[in-house]
């Protein structure tokens, strides 16, 4: 089973992080990736929502808005796609993602066709 | 297929047998078919077949095995009709080596623990866990489950469908959790059974105080749970503690309401109307739990209940011991409700003023401001302290928060008493 792990956190708090904080975060993610090993199919971090553009197609016209789809207290900051046995394993892995400590991780099963 | 008894069986007997076995049959079908919806549909088909077949042939020797065998045959029919035979048939064959040989009670595996743990998975909302458990493990119809939640059947059907879709799509595993997960998973399961019982024990609104059917379903589930633990894992002290607690509470059911359906408090109950058989079973079960030396909150609550049912009269109740047990319970569950019960026990053991002081703690008062029983307990203590005006005010507060007719009758009577004093 493939699960998408959507990592949400407070960007404002992230912006105030020091160089040492970043080092620590990177180490934590490296440790997670080492533990998750071959379960990781892909994963990336995203630039902050201030760089986002939201696109809609209405009556054949492309409409763009500067900013994320929805203003929320916590923002999508990165993701993993993991291969797990079942939801129990997915939950156990999600809890180990460093972002779960301060923000939250949404676990979504991926549709298989 | 089993040879049926030659006597014809009546509809009510058949319906009861089908409901009694449906949880176990469904658990097995889900395990064998690996498809929750297909398993439910085929169980339905098999039940219809039973209602057609059993009145003439009589109840089979092993109704559960009959239902599983029939349902599996129906599953094959359904898969053929769906024309997905090639894809699913190998799966079905793998599990159906005994397709045409009867299963007997000894070899027919009981998979209800898997079903219980799946229904009570923490990834599902608590209310959904309860509804799913009542529907699948206890075999209640969607309409009956809807009634327990005071929802329309269509709304409940939707909720159950959504839950089953999540179980399938998110791959919630159909299994008894591995030993290392058991300590974190068992409490949810016990709580679901406890909440089913308490929904029946003090229906939050409506005419009736007791929904005996829900209480009995909860006891049935607790029995299944304790037996399966003993047979498949090891006896579990808290599961036994929960069963003991439910039995001891339920032993008082006949005495809890008066002729007009009004609530009768523990103190005023006619103790001769308590069920001796349930008390004996409850006490034996509690002894078995305590012998495992693995204490927990359900065992403590059962021990408190045991002290109540063992007292020959309300005056003979061992309140100092009960107060000590509430201290112990507080260490497990430092919740406002436990604080409330502890304060009442201390009031009875060591003086009403003492208990009232605990109730008037500002933090507790704030936490339980909207809780009817908090105001009722305060009113009771104020009345006993002969502070009638304050007692009347507290009874009025309790009445304002009461939605159950039988409790309303009781509180109104008490308010009238203190108003006369």
pLDDT tens-place string over residues A31-58: 999 999 999 999 999 999 999 999 999 9
State whether residue A69 is helix, strand or coil.
coil
pLDDT bracket for residue B140 (50, 70, 90): confident
Size of interface A-B (CB pairs under 8 A): 23
pLDDT tens sequence across A4-19? 999 999 998 888 889 9
- In 3D space, the residue among B94, B96, B44, B111 whose CA is nearest the CA of residue B71 turns out to be B44
Using CA coordinates, name the residue in chain B closest to A112. Answer: B169
- Are B379 and B395 spatial neighbours (Cβ–Cβ below 8 Å)? yes
Angstrom CA distances, A96 to A79, A89, B148, B262, B313, stand at 13, 11, 39, 53, 56
Query: Domain-by-domain residue ranges, chain A?
Result: 49-107
Mean pLDDT within B77-87: 73
Give the per-residue pLDDT at B87.
62
Lowest-confidence region among B1-5, B92-96, B172-176, B262-266: B1-5
pLDDT of residue B107: 57
Question: Among A80-84, B88-92, B149-153, B155-159, which stretch is predicted with the lowest mean pLDDT?
Answer: B88-92
Note whether B26 and B33 are within 8 A (CB): no
Confidence at residue B240, expressed as pLDDT on a 0 to 100 scale:
97
Q: Tokens in use for B13? A: 């007997």
Least-confidence region, from B15-29, B283-297, B302-316? B15-29
What pLDDT shows up at residue A92? 96
DSSP characters over A20-56: HHHHHHHHHHHHHHHHHGGGEEEEEE---GGG-EEEE
| B84 vs B72, higher pLDDT | B72
Q: Give B378 to chain A, closest Cα distance, Å.
A: 42
Token pair recorded at residue B312: 């020959």
Binary contact (B171, A107; C-beta < 8 A) = no
Q: Long-range contacts for A87-91 (Cβ within 8 Å, ≥24 apart)?
A: A87/A1, A87/A3, A87/B121, A87/B123, A87/B170, A87/B171, A87/B172, A87/B173, A88/B172, A88/B173, A88/B177, A88/B181, A90/A1, A90/A3, A90/A5, A90/B170, A90/B171, A91/B123
Average pLDDT over residues B95-122: 70
Give chain B's contact residues with A (Cβ, < 8 Å).
121, 123, 169-173, 177, 181
Contacting residues of B for A1, CB less than 8 Å apart: 171
pLDDT in tens, B223-271: 999 998 998 888 999 999 999 999 999 999 889 888 877 788 888 899 9
Average pLDDT over residues B384-404: 92
- Tell me which of B421 and B377 has the higher pLDDT: B377
**Short-list B350, B257, B268, CA closest to B315:** B268
What counts of helices (H) and strands (E) characterise chain B? 20, 0
As given in the structure block, the two tokens for residue B178 are 């591995």
The answer, for A109 touching chain B at a CB cutoff of 8 Å, is: yes
Three-state SS at A107: strand
| pLDDT tier at B212, thresholds 50, 70, 90 | low
User: Does the predicted interface ipTM exceed a cut of 0.95?
Assistant: no
Residue A1 touches chain B, beta carbons under 8 Å: yes
pLDDT digits (tens, 9 = 90+) for A63-101: 999 999 888 899 999 999 999 999 999 999 999 999 999
- Which stretch of B9-18, B164-173, B205-214, B385-394 has the lowest confidence by average pLDDT? B205-214
Q: Do A85 and B173 touch (CB under 8 A)?
A: yes
Are the CB atoms for B322 and B345 separated by under 8 Å?
yes
In this predicted model, what pLDDT tens digit does every residue of B37-63 receive, in sequence order?
899 999 999 999 998 888 888 888 888
Among B34, B122, B167, B172, the strongest candidate for a mutation testing the A interface, having the largest count of A CBs within 10 A, is B172
Q: Look at residue B67 and tell me whether its pLDDT is greater than 70.
A: yes
The residues pairing with A62 across neighbouring beta strands, listed in sequence order, are: A57
pLDDT of residue B83: 65
On the 0-12 / 13-18 / 19+ scale of CB atoms within 10 A, B380 is: buried
In this prediction, residues B379-392 reach a mean pLDDT of 95
| Of A56-60, B124-128, B359-363, the least confident | B124-128
pLDDT bin (cut points 50, 70, 90) of residue B421 is: confident
CA distance A95 to chain B (A): 13
| Confidence label for B6 from pLDDT (cuts 50, 70 and 90) | very low
Which candidate, B254, B126, B136, places its Cα nearest to that of B192?
A: B126
Please check the confidence at residue B98 and state whether its pLDDT lies above 50.
no
- Chain-chain contact of B123 with A87 (C-beta, under 8 angstroms): yes
Residues of A in contact with B121 (CB under 8 A): 87
Show residues of chain A in contact with B181, CB under 8 Å: 88
A107, B170: Cβ pair inside 8 Å?
A: yes
**Cβ contact (<8 Å) for A1 and B123?**
no
In the predicted structure, residue B206 carries a pLDDT above the cut 70 = no
């Amino acid at each position: 089973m493939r699960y998408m792990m959507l990592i949400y956190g407070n960007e404002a708090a992230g912006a105030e992080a020091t160089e040492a904080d970043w080092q620590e975060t990177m180490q934590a993610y490296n440790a997670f990736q080492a533990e998750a090993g071959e379960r990781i199919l892909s994963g990336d971090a995203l630039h902050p929502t201030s760089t986002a553009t939201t696109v809609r197609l209405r009556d054949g016209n492309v409409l763009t808005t500067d900013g994320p789809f929805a203003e929320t207290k916590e923002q999508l900051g990165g993701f993993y796609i993991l291969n797990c046995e079942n939801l129990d394993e997915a939950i156990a892995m999600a809890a180990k993602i460093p972002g779960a400590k301060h923000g939250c991780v949404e676990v979504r099963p991926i549709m298989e066709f | 297929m089993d040879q049926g008894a030659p006597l014809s069986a009546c509809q009510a007997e058949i319906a009861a047998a089908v409901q009694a076995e449906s949880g176990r049959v469904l658990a097995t079908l889900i395990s064998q078919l690996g498809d929750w919806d297909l398993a439910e549909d085929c169980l339905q088909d098999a039940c219809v077949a039973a209602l057609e077949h059993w009145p003439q042939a009589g109840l089979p020797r092993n109704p559960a095995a009959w239902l599983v065998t029939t349902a599996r045959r129906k599953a094959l029919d359904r898969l053929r009709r769906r024309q997905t035979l090639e894809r699913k048939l190998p799966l079905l064959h793998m599990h159906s080596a005994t397709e045409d040989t009867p299963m007997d009670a000894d070899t027919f595996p009981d998979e209800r623990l898997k079903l219980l743990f799946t229904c009570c998975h923490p990834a599902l909302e608590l209310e959904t866990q309860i509804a799913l458990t009542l529907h699948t493990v206890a075999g209640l119809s969607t309409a009956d489950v809807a009634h327990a939640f005071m929802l329309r059947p269509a709304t409940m059907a939707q909720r159950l469908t959504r839950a089953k879709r999540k179980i399938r799509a998110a791959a919630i595993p159909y299994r008894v959790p591995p030993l290392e997960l058991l300590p974190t998973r068992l409490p949810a399961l016990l709580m679901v059974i406890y909440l089913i019982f308490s929904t029946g024990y003090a229906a939050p609104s409506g005419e009736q105080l007791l929904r005996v059917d829900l209480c009995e379903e909860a006891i049935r589930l607790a029995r299944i749970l304790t037996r399966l633990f003993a047979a498949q894992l090891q006896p579990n002290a808290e599961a036994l503690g929960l069963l003991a607690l439910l039995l001891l509470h339920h032993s008082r059911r006949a005495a809890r309401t008066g002729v007009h359906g009004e609530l009768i408090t523990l103190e005023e109950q006619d103790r001769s109307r308590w069920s001796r058989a349930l008390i004996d079973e409850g006490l034996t079960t509690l002894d078995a739990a305590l012998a495992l030396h693995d204490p927990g909150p359900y065992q403590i609550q059962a021990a408190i209940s045991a002290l109540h049912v063992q007292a020959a009269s309300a005056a003979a109740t061992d309140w100092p011991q009960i107060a000590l047990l509430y201290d112990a319970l507080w260490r497990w569950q430092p919740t406002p409700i436990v604080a409330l019960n502890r304060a009442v026990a201390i009031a009875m053991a060591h003086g009403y003023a003492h208990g009232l002081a605990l109730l008037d703690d500002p933090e507790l008062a704030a936490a339980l401001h909207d809780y009817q029983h908090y105001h009722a307990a305060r009113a009771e203590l104020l009345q006993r302290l002969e502070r009638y005006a304050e007692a009347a005010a507290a009874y009025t507060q309790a009445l304002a928060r009461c939605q159950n007719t039988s409790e309303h009758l009781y509180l109104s009577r008490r308010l009238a008493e203190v108003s006369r004093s």
